[in-house]
Amino acid sequence: MRKVFHLSLFVFLLSIFLLFQDNHLLAQDTGTLRGLVTDSTTAEALAFSSAYIKELKIGANTDTRGYFLITSIPADQSFTLVISYVGYKTKTITIRVAKGKMSHYNISLIATNIQMKTIESTAEVSSETNDLKISINRISAKELELMPKGVETDIFRSIQYLPGVQSTGDVSAQYYVRGGASNQNLVLIDGLTIYHPFHAMGLYGVIDPDMINNIEFYKGGFTAEYGERLSSVMSINTKDGNKNNYGATASGSLMSSKLLLEGPIPYGSFIVTGRKSYSNNVLKKFLNDQTVPLDFYDLSFKANYSNPNFISGSKFSVNGFMSSDNIHNKDPQLEDYNWKNNVFGFKWFQVGEDSPLFFEIGLSSSNFEGNVDPKFSSAHAMNNSVTDVGMQMNFTYLFDNMDEVGIGYHINLVKTSLLLQNSLNIPKDLGSEGSNISIYAKYKFHPWESLAIDAGTRMNIATLSSNKNFQSFEPRINIFWRMIPGITIKGAWGIFQQAMTTINDENEVLNVFEPWIITPSYLAPAKAMHYILGLETELVANFSFNVEGYYKKVENLPLLNEQKIFFTDPDFIDGKGESYGLEFYTKINPNPISFTASYTYAFAYKEVNGVNYYPRYDIRHKLNLAFAVNLGAGWSTSVDWIFASGLPFTQTLGYYDKFYFQNIFTPWNGLDPRSPYLILSVQNLGRLPDYHRLDFTISRKFKINPLTFNIDFSIINVYNRENIFYFKRDTGKRVNMLPFLPSATIKIEI
């Protein structure tokens, strides 16, 4: 711990030195341009917008906070800067930078009525940008509004249209990325971990889309600042709130209603949004006409403060998120469930006044609780809690030659508790606690104009698991080579580690929630290795094509011990995992039309005790086609078609009468102790029939002063395809997924 403190102090002092020094690293005949791009009405940051200097033919994209940096600009000369963003009027301004100085411009864009239904897939590299990413999809707030909907907009359902992202059916919003389990996906909201991001038994996400500014979704190969997950990272950045005017938005769907309030405060702004369920009727369509007494809510808030007279270039923010789900059955023979999240955070973000340095310091607290009350049912009592308290420091410095260095460290103290009762009602606690201390460093450099490399590593001082066989270093590298203008080859390799897991039964069709625990001390933390190779083309305007191949190998995968017999047998055993595949994505978007197509060809395996099998989310083929048109006058429409090959399932071979001796003194002639016992085939050897579905949406946006109305009407499964979900093993009854389902939402803004 003393070494960590000394290294942290050194990193902090180094950053302060770089922040407040005169920028001697800038060439004397050049200067640096920094800009902040925002919405002209609300002053919200416009992430992923484009800044381009016409005369120099160089540029950059804004980050998630709306900032961009362009270095090595000839000083004391006038240039034309073009700022563009989908859905906004392109803006052209004249800029001039001082010699050896940082010149800052605040740029606001005016929204237009042009609406494009796209999911931006960004992985560019050239002399024009310092944005080096692979296997990433970036989604802005405007794009999120126009993505495919179900009963209401939900980010976790929407990303299932992307290549490489699989689901196990219409009933659940849980997602699986490139052959990884759902517990291998990290979900962050403003850098805070959400351990169970689902409402309604996994049907919907807990994060209100109206709160979201932008999303970065990494499907693999993520860089060194992210850790503790093996498969994917979803980093959600929320809105700051309207800095110019007070406003309110009310909306409702067939299942829930919500209210959003926002507005300015002295030197800042605030935003608060809450959602509450009021009807369970639509859930019957998801749950085979079964009524579930489900009640849920979520509440989010954020406030920020930026006073140039206090600390120039600083921004302070506090945010919180709370959600709760309850299933209370009136029947005493049915169990009750409840689970909730409580997350709070504080951040100090700083930009250098005359230095290309950004740093961020954050404090976080994330808590999850889940309970099962069996009452008089056959279920077993369970209580799970996770407490995660952390501190993060991140520093980014951009050199005059466009090279970039990032360093930081993350400290998390995690405590889990899992109280279980076995079949004999004997309680057991699988909880534990630990600390995760990680330091990371990465460097982006351009040895040649056509080649860029992003290399880095995480160094783990301590992990949550007390097992000493953990991965001390997690090296990672991304490489981008622009063969010719418009064609880029990209590749990534990296090692990733995860010391937490969930208890889940792969034979369960629907999981209410999965309890989290720290990997037991007798097992090493799980480790994955990613290999990614891709090609991206943008040879003509309004057309792009992207293909990526990946291979992922997982070791020390903690799996439930299905063969546990004695009390001394371990609850978990080591397993292995392997997945590989090809992903294709193309986009054609000449205004006012948008067409996207994605296809995934993938394989996934798990190995337990030397035996390989397909996990339930192994889908061989998946095709998504989306066509959208902006009809004008506030009207837009879209059609989405989904095809997927059948899910794996375990076939039934037969039954036999098995004797169950609950009490050896009970006379046999008084009660027959025999019951049918199921004989199953090899796990997940069978395949269900293919799945396909057509969805339709039409939207209208109009204004009746002072109110703005957004009305969406959707039809899920237009031609009422009977997609099988599962067969009930006791009766043989077939259960299907969503039938023909119309739905509507209305949003009113003031």
Domain that residue 132 falls in? 120-236
Q: What is the pTM of this model?
A: 0.89
What pLDDT, in 10s, does the model give residues 584-637? Answer: 999 998 888 889 999 999 999 999 888 899 999 999 999 999 999 988 888 989
What pLDDT, in 10s, does the model give residues 366-391? Answer: 999 999 888 888 777 889 999 999 99
- If asked whether residues 340 and 270 sit together in one domain, one would say yes
Q: pLDDT at position 116, please?
A: 38
Task: Give residue for tokens 């978990």.
Answer: 572
Residue 114 predicted with pLDDT over 50? no
CATH, residue 88 = 2.60.40.1120
- The rounded percent of the chain whose pLDDT value lies above 70 is 87
Return the half-sphere exposure (C-beta side, CA atoms, 13 A cut-off) of residue 256.
Answer: 23
- If asked whether residues 726 and 618 sit together in one domain, one would say yes
| Cβ atoms of residues 102 and 68 within 8 Å | no
Q: Is 665 a member of any domain?
A: no
Q: Is 410 a member of any domain?
A: yes
Residue 440 predicted with pLDDT over 90? yes
- If asked whether residues 385 and 486 sit together in one domain, one would say yes
- If asked whether residues 139 and 42 sit together in one domain, one would say no
Q: Is 513 a member of any domain?
A: no
Count of domains forming the chain: 3
Q: How many CB atoms lie within 10 A of CB 571?
A: 15
- If asked whether residues 174 and 309 sit together in one domain, one would say no
- If asked whether residues 255 and 389 sit together in one domain, one would say yes
Q: Which residues, 6+ apart, have CB-to-CB distance to 36 below 8 Å?
A: 45, 66, 67, 104, 105, 106, 107
Q: Taking Cα atoms as reference points, which of 636, 641, 606, 607 lies closest to residue 622?
A: 641
CATH, residue 566 = 2.40.170.20
CA pair distance 407, 468, nearest whole angstrom: 25
- If asked whether residues 177 and 324 sit together in one domain, one would say no
Query: Which contiguous run of DSSP H or E holds residue 144?
Result: helix 141-145
Peptide linkage before 615 cis (omega within 30 of 0): no
State which of 88, 109, 130 marks the end of a domain. 109
CA pair distance 552, 575, nearest whole angstrom: 14
What are the contacts of 466-475 at 24+ separation with CB within 8 A? 466/432, 466/434, 466/521, 467/519, 467/521, 467/522, 467/523, 467/524, 467/525, 469/524, 470/497, 470/499, 470/524, 470/525, 471/495, 471/497, 471/525, 471/527, 474/224, 474/227
DSSP strands (E only) in 164-246: 165-166, 176-177, 185-189, 192-193, 198-199, 204-205, 212-218, 232-238
Q: pLDDT at position 449, please?
A: 79
Peptide linkage before 706 cis (omega within 30 of 0): yes
**Mean pLDDT value across residues 154-174:** 87
Of the candidate ranges 35-39, 288-292, 570-574, the one whose mean pLDDT is the lowest: 288-292
Cα dihedral 480/483/486/489 (nearest 10) = -40
Q: Is 511 a member of any domain?
A: no
CA pair distance 227, 189, nearest whole angstrom: 15
Cα 742 to Cα 149, 625, 725, distances in angstroms: 11, 20, 20
- If asked whether residues 342 and 469 sit together in one domain, one would say yes
Residue 487 predicted with pLDDT over 70? yes
Q: Is 676 a member of any domain?
A: no
Q: Is 149 a member of any domain?
A: yes
Q: Is 671 a member of any domain?
A: no
State which of 167, 202, 236 marks the end of a domain. 236
Q: pLDDT at position 667, please?
A: 56
CA pair distance 175, 167, nearest whole angstrom: 5
Task: Report the mean per-residue pLDDT for the chain.
Answer: 85
CA pair distance 743, 701, nearest whole angstrom: 17
CATH, residue 136 = 2.170.130.10
Q: pLDDT at position 671, please?
A: 60
Of the candidate ranges 127-141, 264-278, 354-368, the one whose mean pLDDT is the lowest: 127-141
- If asked whether residues 205 and 249 sit together in one domain, one would say no
Cα 186 to Cα 148, 189, 306, distances in angstroms: 22, 10, 30
Q: Is 269 a member of any domain?
A: yes
- If asked whether residues 252 and 221 sit together in one domain, one would say no
- The rounded percent of the chain whose pLDDT value lies above 90 is 45
Query: pLDDT class for 674, splitting at 50, 70, 90?
Result: low
The DSSP line for 475-521 is EEEEEEEEEETTEEEEEEEEEEEE-EEE---TT-S--S---EEEPPT
**Mean pLDDT value across residues 649-671:** 67
The DSSP line for 571-593 is SEEEEEEEEEEEEEEEEE--TTE
- If asked whether residues 410 and 443 sit together in one domain, one would say yes
Cα 110 to Cα 44, 87, 530, 649, distances in angstroms: 12, 9, 41, 52
| Cβ atoms of residues 504 and 183 within 8 Å | yes
CA pair distance 454, 111, nearest whole angstrom: 34
| Cβ atoms of residues 191 and 364 within 8 Å | yes
Higher pLDDT, 280 or 50: 50
- If asked whether residues 168 and 92 sit together in one domain, one would say no
State which of 109, 128, 143 marks the end of a domain. 109
What pLDDT, in 10s, does the model give residues 214-260? Answer: 999 999 999 999 999 999 999 999 999 999 999 999 998 878 889 99
